[in-house]
């Protein structure tokens, strides 16, 4: 039977039914209202006392009904069901032993089965051809094991959702050149096959699923390397990113400068989209504010934003408490730090509605102020929760790194969470909210989105309303310098990291990419992903 009338637009409702709506005992699918009721009730269930639970549930329902805040996809899909995993992404450690490699592979398989994605740093594995002391044989190197993890992600999927993965390798690893060039060589091979046999849909699908095609790759680069001026490896990265957008870069020292708990370890890896650097066995608890909803009648409603931030931080902290994964170490470590990932979506829609060009100095100044406000209010909410519930378990007042608190000019008080803000891509939840993803500009005035279940056309009412002016700037109208500036404006005040694509035109050069890398590092970014238009054989977004 079909779904009853929904509050969502037809396009949003289609994605909602496909991704998140549960089937009821009647055979009907949940409506959007039933879903957010299910989620609100479950997330409020840990509040003390029936009256407090009902009040929290009403607040959680309100902000989701108004679409001012939505949690990550796994929370929407699983809260209030028999699936206890409510988080999207995790990081698993990999040491240089068969036991560690296959233990993490088993743990990754469990995570994939429940709809999660995983990031890893493979740098502890010895290089290809190095001697293995225990057996006397030769090591096969990190890339061979990445292939094993990739194949596992393909075999084990949940509801057509393939497990996303991020593979990171340190810049000083002996196999770094092979790692950097892997996807370019794969694309060259696929291009030759397509040229020889023709671009039929079946062949394109087979090639699109080639080994490591779905594995995000990133090189971990230190500050020491960036100041050395010896950029041979950086030039190799730029050349391969020019060809197909891979690999990305992870400025590992910049990430660890904001590590509140260095005594627990190093942030060696990130989640698959790069917006949350994580300790081993940590998870990211994601949710996003819909910025478009805070503007009306020519005024941005800062008080409403403050209210929703406090509700959202409490919501996500509750999710941390409720979440259970099949990997015991994740449950222990995640509760010890209670890391959150509160982000935003709909920035492009907001700026268009306000009549501010995305690539203007006015936009950068506004976003700097907005990111500061969200960050400061989030930490104040976490401090209030710490008074009510206690600080995160691993909190040690004498050992924590206070950098994240000090930059907001806040008193050094116990906090409930080790980090709070992060900018995720917000793929499907932004479609449900009928806004553009994350802090990205509109991709084009009209475009189609290639998704797993098919190809859909996407058009924004905001663009159509504002297209008569010069207000709306799309990703391809904006210089790469302004893309980096926008990411930096947010990263300045974001605790975790910012996921954003630095779009470049098809005629961009390798030198342009090199300059973007250096500018990104100079401006304090924790990571950067560059995409030159048309450089991938298979694109997610295509201009019409």
Give all domains of the chain, ordered by start, each with its CATH number: 66-544 (3.20.70.20)
Q: How far is CA 99 from CA 95, 102, 133, in A?
A: 8, 5, 15
Does residue 194 carry a pLDDT above 60?
no
The model's pTM is 0.91
Helix ranges, 229-326 (H)? 232-244, 252-257, 302-322
Catalytic: 275?
Answer: yes
Stronger pLDDT, 163 or 140, i.e. the higher one: 140
Among 195-209, 242-256, 509-523, the least confident range = 195-209
User: Which pairing describes strands 117-121 and 165-170: parallel, antiparallel, or unpaired?
Assistant: parallel
- Asked if 540 contacts 450 with a C-beta cutoff of 8 angstroms, the reply is yes
| Residue of 190, 216, 240, 275 with catalytic role | 275
pLDDT at residue 324 greater than cutoff 90: yes
Catalytic status, residue 200: no
**Gap between the Cα atoms of 350 and 238, Å rounded:** 33
What are the φ/ψ torsions at residue 236 (nearest 5 degrees)?
A: -65, -40
Query: Quick check: 418 and 261 in contact, CB under 8 A?
Result: yes
Whether 457 shows a pLDDT value over 70: the answer reads no
Cα distance between residue 264 and residue 333, in whole Å:
10
| Helices 32-44, 302-322: crossing angle, 10 deg rounding | 70
Q: What is the pLDDT of residue 470?
A: 56
Residue 137: pLDDT band by 50, 70, 90 thresholds? confident
Q: How confident is the model over 251-261, as a mean pLDDT?
A: 99
pLDDT for the residue 478: 96
Indicate if the alpha-carbon torsion angle 39, 45, 50, 55 is positive or negative.
negative
Q: Is 273 a catalytic residue?
A: yes
Among residues 121, 170, 190, 271, the one annotated as catalytic is 271
Helix (H, G, I), strand (E, B) or coil at 412: coil
Query: CA 372, 343, 255, 219 torsion: positive or negative?
Result: negative
Q: What span, in angstroms and rounded, lies between the C-alpha atoms of 241 and 170? A: 17
Residue 424: is its pLDDT beyond 90?
A: yes
User: Which residue in the list 89, 273, 284, 285 is annotated as catalytic?
Assistant: 273
Q: What is the pLDDT of residues 376-400, one digit of tens each?
A: 999 999 999 999 999 999 999 999 9
pLDDT at 5 over 70: no
Within 324-402, residue ranges assigned H as helices are 328-337, 347-354, 361-389
pLDDT of residue 208: 54
- State the average pLDDT over residues 12-35: 91
């Amino acid at each position: 039977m079909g779904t009853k009338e929904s509050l969502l637009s037809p396009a949003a409702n289609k994605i909602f039914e496909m991704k998140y709506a549960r089937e009821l005992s009647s055979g009907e699918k949940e409506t959007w209202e039933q879903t957010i009721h299910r989620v609100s009730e479950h997330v409020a269930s840990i509040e003390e006392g029936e009256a407090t639970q009902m009040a929290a549930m009403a607040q959680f329902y309100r902000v989701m009904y108004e679409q001012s805040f939505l949690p990550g996809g796994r929370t929407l899909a699983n809260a209030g069901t028999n699936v206890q995993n409510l988080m999207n992404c995790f990081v698993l450690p990999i040491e240089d032993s068969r036991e560690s490699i296959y233990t993490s592979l088993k743990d990754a398989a469990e995570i994939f089965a429940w709809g999660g994605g995983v990031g890893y740093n493979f740098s502890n594995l010895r290089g290809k051809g190095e001697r293995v002391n225990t057996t006397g044989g030769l090591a096969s190197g990190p890339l061979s094991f990445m292939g094993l993890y990739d194949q596992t992600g393909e075999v084990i999927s949940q509801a057509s959702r393939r497990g996303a993965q991020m593979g990171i390798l340190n810049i000083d690893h002996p196999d770094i050149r092979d790692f950097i060039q892997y996807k370019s060589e794969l694309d060259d091979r696929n291009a030759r096959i397509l040229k020889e046999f023709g671009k039929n849909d079946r062949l394109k699908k087979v090639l699109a699923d080639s080994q490591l095609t779905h594995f995000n790759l990133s090189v971990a680069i230190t500050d020491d390397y960036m100041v050395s001026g010896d950029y041979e490896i950086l030039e190799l990265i730029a050349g391969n990113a020019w060809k197909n957008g891979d690999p990305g870069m992870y400025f590992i020292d910049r990430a660890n400068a904001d590590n509140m708990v260095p005594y627990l370890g190093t942030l060696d890896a990130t989640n698959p989209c790069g917006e949350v650097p994580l300790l081993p066995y940590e998870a990211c608890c994601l949710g996003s504010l819909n910025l478009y909803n805070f503007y009306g009648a020519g005024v941005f409603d800062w008080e409403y934003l403050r209210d929703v931030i406090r509700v959202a931080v409490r919501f996500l902290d509750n999710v941390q408490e409720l979440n259970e994964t099949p990997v015991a170490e994740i449950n222990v470590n995640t509760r010890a730090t209670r890391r959150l990932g509160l982000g935003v979506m709909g920035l492009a829609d907001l700026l268009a509605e306000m009549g501010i060009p995305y690539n203007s100095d006015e936009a950068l100044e506004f976003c700097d102020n907005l990111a500061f406000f969200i960050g400061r209010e989030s930490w104040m909410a976490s401090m209030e929760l710490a008074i009510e519930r206690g600080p995160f378990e691993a909190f040690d007042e004498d050992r924590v790194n206070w950098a994240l608190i000090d930059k907001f000019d806040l008193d050094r008080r116990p906090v409930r969470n080790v980090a709070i803000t992060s900018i995720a891509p917000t793929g499907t939840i932004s479609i449900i909210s009928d806004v553009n993803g994350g802090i990205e500009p509109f991709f084009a005035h009209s475009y189609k989105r290639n998704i797993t279940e098919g190809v859909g056309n996407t058009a924004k009412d905001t663009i159509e309303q504002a297209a008569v002016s010069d207000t709306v700037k799309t990703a391809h109208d904006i210089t790469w310098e302004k893309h980096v500036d926008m990411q930096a404006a947010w990263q300045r005040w974001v605790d975790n990291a910012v996921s954003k694509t630095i779009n470049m035109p098809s005629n961009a050069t390798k030198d342009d990419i090199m300059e973007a890398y250096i500018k990104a590092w100079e401006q304090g970014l924790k990571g950067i992903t560059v995409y030159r238009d048309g450089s991938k054989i298979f694109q997610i977004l295509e201009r019409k």
